[in-house]
Amino acid sequence: MSASVAVPQARPVAIPMSETLPWLIGAAVLGLLIYYFIGIDEGATSVFGNSTVVHEFVHDARHFLGFPCH
């Protein structure tokens, strides 16, 4: 005696490029901003001038990720 059981199959979902492109660009811009403020924004190259507010805010993350600091 054998009974056939319908096993659900996984089907790939096609996501159009026009729907994913804004999310990809947004994620890339956000990632680059985070990378800049954690890793690069310091001293003369700082966006906010000679202020140390941003630098001190991300200071622990900078050291944790191994960016040169001081």
Interface region with Zn ion, contact rule CB under 5 A, candidates 17-25, 35-43, 44-52, 62-70: 62-70
20 or 52: CB nearest Zn ion: 52
Interface region with Zn ion, contact rule CB under 5 A, candidates 9-17, 25-33, 50-58, 61-69: 61-69
Distance from the first to the final alpha carbon of the chain: 76
Q: Per CB under 5 A, does 69 bind Zn ion?
A: yes
DSSP for residue 13: P
Contact predicate 42/61, CB 8 Å: no
Contact predicate 67/39, CB 8 Å: yes
27 or 65: CB nearest Zn ion: 65
- Provide the binding-site residues for Zn ion, judged by CB under 5 A: 69-70
